[in-house]
Amino acid sequence: ARLVVLVSGSGTNLQALLDEIDSVGAERYGARVVAVGADRAGVAGLERAERAGLPTFTCQVKDHPTRADWDRALAEATAAHRPDLVVSAGFMKIVGPEFLARFGGRLVNTHPALLPSFPGAHGVRDALAYGVKVTGCTVHFVDDGVDTGPIIAQGVVEVREEDDESALHERIKEVERRLLVDVVGRLARDGYRIEGRKVRVPA
C-alpha cells in the first residue's frame, strides 16, 4: 500500500513508521510511505521525510483565500501521490469536505487520549487537568467531526502523580507510535471494513 503521511510537528510518529518499514521491509510490512505533507513549512516532520529521501509538500491555510481552497489544495497535493491510505500523524488541522470526499474511509488519525474522552488539540492537557488515572491514545478513521470517527485501536497509559503535560505526552507517544505502526500495517496487509461505528480488521 502507498501511504501519504500528514504532519504538523516533530514527526516522531512518522519516524516510527519509516523505521519499521526500514527494518521489516515494505513488502513484509505491506506499505511504504510515498510522500509527507505538512500544514506549515520547516517542521521537523518534513526534515525527517527529506532525510528519508521522500517527496514532501506543504499546504498552508494562510496561502489560500478560503479554508475550502486550502482543503482542495491539500486534497490535490495528497492525491498527486496516489495514496491507498492517508495517515494523519500529529497533523493539527481539521480536513474539510473535499479532502474527506476523496480520502474518507482510508484516512486514519492518531490522538493522544482515549476517545471519546478529551478530543481536540489539547487531549493530554485536558486529561491531566481532569485528574484521570489512566489515559492513552486512539487510532481512528477520520469522519466529518473532530476526533469522532470509528475507532480502530486504543492503548492505555497510566497517569503518574508527578506527571506534567510533556512527561505524560512523551509516555503516551511511546505507546502511540507502536499502536500506529501496528494498525497501519494491519490495515495495509489484511484490509478492513467499516460498518457504522465498528471497524472490522481480519484477525
Residue 7 lies near ligand GRF (rule: CB under 6 A): yes
Buried b (16+ CB within 10 A) or exposed e, 10-34: ebbbbbbbbebbeeeeeeebbbbbb
Binding test (CB under 6 A) with ligand GRF, winner from 2, 10, 34, 167: 10
Q: Clarify whether 111 is annotated catalytic.
A: yes
For residues 189 and 138, what is the distance between their CA atoms, to the nearest angstrom?
20
Q: With respect to ligand GRF, which residue has the nearer C-beta, 32 or 122?
A: 122
Confirm or reject binding of residue 155 to ligand GRF (CB under 6 A). no
Tell me if 195 sits within 8 A of 168, measured CB to CB: no
Cα-based distances in Å from 41 to 36, 47, 59, 61, 190 = 12, 10, 8, 11, 34
Which residues partner with 157 through β-bridges?
Answer: 135
Which part of the chain contacts ligand GRF (CB under 6 A), choosing from 10-18, 47-55, 155-163, 186-194? 10-18
Binding region for ligand GRF (CB under 6 A) out of 27-35, 70-78, 110-118, 152-160: 110-118
Q: Which of 64, 81, 111, 140 is catalytic?
A: 111
| 1, 3, 6, 12: which one binds ligand GRF (CB under 6 A) | 12
* 171 contributes a contact to ligand GRF by CB under 6 A: no
Based on the shown chain and the rule CB under 6 A, indicate whether residue 114 belongs to the binding site for ligand GRF.
no
- CA-based end-to-end distance of the chain: 19
Binding site for ligand GRF (CB under 6 A): 7, 9-13, 45, 89-90, 110-112, 173, 176
Positions marked catalytic: 111
